[in-house]
Amino acid sequence: MEKIGVVGCGLMGAGIAEVCARAGLDVVVAESSQGAADAGRSRLEKSLARAEAKGKISSAADVLARIRVVIDLDELADRDLVVEAILEDEDAKTELFRQLDKIVTSPDAILASNTSSIPIMKLGVVTNRPQNVLGIHFFNPVPVLKLVELVPSIVTAPEVTERSRAFVQDVLGKEAIDCQDRAGFVVNALLIPFILSAIRMMESGFATAADIDRGLVLGAAHPQGPLALADLIGLDTTKAVAESLYEEFKEPLYAAPPLLNRMVDAGLLGRKTGRGFYTYN
């Protein structure tokens, strides 16, 4: 797989595009509007400039030259692998997979989702090639974190999973773990209840956001606290994953706390909007 497509050039999509281009691959990133494409291109430029300044890459310009940011999904027609990285919304993702199924021409091309929680089967069945659909779930920030979750559905062809594993590990230099096609997969099924518990603790007045986070950083050696992590993930994404988990398992620990719902309704989504549990410049 040498021709890679990415749909979405937000934090995750740009990160996926960057690691693929840094591996020497030809990358096309599709966005929904020129404004979003320009913002995505700027995000890539800044990230690659930081990587060059830190000595992670020799030339940001060389890597950037391997990435095209477009606003037409038809530009993905010749891709060997397309990774969807749009908003965490089931209806939006299923509609996108219907379109990609018609656009991507190679019968061997893999259609992958970077979803955090939506069952892959729901995405595969809207295509005429569900055997070529699986989850390839990266973690933010993609250029830094090594883990990728591979999530085949019950009809994903084993050879597609193995091709994806070889791509993730041998080409991108990541570490892959295998997950069942259940909402949340491995990491988010463990992480989201932890974050929701921290939100409930703050909501109840048990402790402040700062003290909750300091407790986990200094007392449990976590690199950052759960509320700061929620701000990094995005409170809208945290809420969407929680809802997907609750829909599938109906366990109270997966239910989004009222405070989280209100913050999302207010547009306080964390780092991406400048304010969540903390305020950012």
Active site residues: 116, 137, 149, 188
Tokens 């779930």 map to which residue?
Answer: 137
Rounded CA separation 27/67 (Å): 5
Residues 6+ apart with CB under 8 A from 60: 45, 48, 49, 51, 52
Residues 6+ apart with CB under 8 A from 159: none
What is the DSSP secondary-structure string of 27-74?
EEEE-SSHHHHHHHHHHHHHHHHHHHHTTSSS-HHHHHTTEEEES-GG
